[in-house]
């Protein structure tokens, strides 16, 4: 990740890629909420960073002044530099009306009922991933476990062979984790784009029970869906479902490796798994999204200008003590938990059922085989941040 000058004033010159912020952003948000709830910066373009639940959710719902035409926290490629993806990556990078019908096409693929059909393969996959490390008694829970799961599950939905899982993981990391390196972003986007384009073309003539085939053979108000809209939706499904979910699984395992009480309770009281999953999503929400300010507007005293970037800081909203009792404590039996890890408003995550299932199954299968584990060396944990925060290296020792 490109480094910039150290930050001396977080209220007017924040840097989401600052190393200490990526590792531990929580005290920063607590401080900002007290002294300057919407921080700003001119680094990598002018941007605003709200930190309260009320501001983040209000801003997320104002689609008139805050457009999804650019949702990247870190810009690498100018929007109009991409002549191929004429529809962008809908629905996430679109506003209504494009947003409305593309979202409607994707939602049924992630309904409760359909997600339930992916659970047995997810469970078998998680089991086999851990089994491979039982003899050694240790594993990198981020790279060798969490990272391996979502790419294979999404791959099955899109009809992508398992042998390509590592290639796709590399491409998705290029796009999201290395967003400040234009060459890597281009490599990732072209890799995913050309691969999916070939698969789309194959499915024009061959039948299959996968999302690409469905998009090719469905219609919207009597018209077939444009090829470039299909490609955009396919790329988004790949990108949106991988880094995000593996980061949530990795952060949850980090928490359990460093909080013996919670780990022990989940082993002896497995009925707490559902509230624990919500609480871990709240406390370690991985995703921050951006918006483009569409017209000059003053929001809570902040003079936002057309073209500024707004960062929808869902992770900070989730730690707001005015909404969550003891917000900085993880309480795996928390009953009231209206967290916004999956966003808020019309762009709320379309894959949240799938993400929840993967997180629950990944933790259940892990704890069943490895009920006791701890960090090999706390200084050796490596975090990634920016758009998606989560551990990238998480060596743990079993028992």
Residues engaged in binding ligand HEM (CB under 6 A): 60, 68, 71, 91-92, 103, 106, 110, 154, 236-237, 240-241, 244-245, 248, 286-287, 289, 312, 314, 341-343, 347, 349-351, 354-355
Q: How far is the CB of 11 from ligand HEM (least distance, A)?
A: 25
The distance of closest approach from Cβ of residue 311 to ligand HEM in the complex, given in angstroms and rounded to an integer, is 11
Cβ-based neighbours of 128, under 8 Å, separated by 6 or more: none
Indicate the residue whose CB is closest to ligand HEM.
Answer: 351
Least Å from the CB of residue 131 to ligand HEM: 24
How far is residue 32's CA from residue 187's CA, in Å, rounded to a whole number?
Answer: 36
User: Contact, 203 vs 216, CB < 8 A?
Assistant: yes
Q: Which is nearer to ligand HEM, 139 or 281 (CB)?
A: 281
Of residues 45 and 303, the one with the C-beta less far from ligand HEM: 45
Q: Please report how close the Cβ of residue 247 comes to ligand HEM at its closest, in angstroms.
A: 7
For ligand HEM, the closer CB: 10 or 284 = 284
Backbone phi and psi for residue 59, each to the nearest 5 degrees, phi listed first: -65, -40
Which residues have CB under 8 Å from 259's CB, separation 6+?
330
Smaller CB distance to ligand HEM: residue 133 or 315? 315
**How many Å from the N-terminal Cα to the C-terminal Cα in the chain?**
34
- Residue 271's SS3 state is helix
Q: Which is nearer to ligand HEM, 341 or 361 (CB)?
A: 341
Helix intervals (H) in the chain: 19-23, 26-35, 53-61, 98-106, 112-134, 149-158, 165-176, 182-203, 211-217, 227-258, 260-268, 273-283, 314-317, 352-369
d(CA 222, CA 220): 5
User: What tokens were used for 255?
Assistant: 């928490």
CB of 379 to ligand HEM, least distance (A): 27
In the bound state with ligand HEM, the residue whose beta carbon lies nearer, of 53 and 110, is 110
Q: How far is the CB of 388 from ligand HEM (least distance, A)?
A: 8
């Amino acid at each position: 990740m490109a480094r910039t000058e150290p930050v001396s004033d977080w209220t007017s010159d924040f840097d989401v890629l600052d190393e200490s912020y990526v590792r531990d952003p929580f005290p920063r948000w607590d401080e900002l909420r007290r002294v300057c709830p919407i921080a700003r910066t001119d680094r990598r373009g002018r941007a605003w960073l709200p930190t309260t639940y009320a501001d983040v959710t209000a801003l997320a719902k104002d689609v008139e002044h805050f457009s999804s035409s650019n949702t990247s926290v870190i810009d690498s490629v100018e929007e109009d530099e991409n002549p191929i993806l004429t529809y962008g990556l809908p629905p996430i990078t679109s506003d209504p009306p494009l947003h409305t019908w593309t979202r409607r096409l994707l939602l049924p693929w992630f309904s409760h009922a359909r997600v339930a059909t992916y659970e047995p393969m997810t469970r078998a996959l998680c089991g086999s991933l851990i089994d491979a490390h039982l003899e050694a008694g240790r594993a990198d829970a981020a790279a060798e476990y969490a990272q391996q799961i979502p790419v294979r599950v999404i791959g099955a939905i899109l009809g992508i062979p398992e042998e390509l899982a590592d290639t796709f993981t590399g491409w998705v990391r290029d796009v999201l984790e290395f967003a400040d390196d234009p060459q890597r972003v281009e490599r990732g986007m072209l890799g995913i784009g050309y691969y999916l384009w070939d698969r789309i073309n194959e499915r024009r003539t061959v039948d299959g029970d996968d999302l690409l085939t469905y998009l090719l053979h469905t219609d919207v108000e009597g018209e077939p869906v444009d090829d470039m809209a299909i490609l955009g939706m396919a790329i988004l499904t790949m990108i949106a479902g991988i880094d995000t979910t593996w980061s949530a699984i990795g952060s949850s395992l980090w928490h359990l490796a460093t909080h013996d009480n919670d780990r022990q309770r989940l082993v002896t009281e497995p009925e707490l798994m559902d509230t624990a999953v919500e609480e871990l999503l709240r406390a370690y929400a991985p995703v921050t999204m951006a918006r483009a300010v569409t017209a000059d507007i003053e929001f809570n005293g902040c003079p936002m200008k057309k073209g500024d970037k707004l960062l929808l800081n869902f992770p900070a909203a989730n730690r707001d003590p005015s909404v969550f009792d003891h917000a900085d404590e993880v309480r795996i039996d928390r009953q009231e938990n209206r967290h916004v890890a999956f966003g808020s408003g019309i762009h709320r995550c379309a894959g949240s059922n799938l993400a929840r299932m993967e997180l629950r199954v990944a933790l259940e299968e892990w704890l069943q085989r490895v009920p006791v584990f701890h960090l090999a060396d706390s200084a050796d944990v490596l975090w990634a941040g920016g758009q998606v925060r989560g551990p990238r290296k998480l060596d743990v020792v079993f028992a």
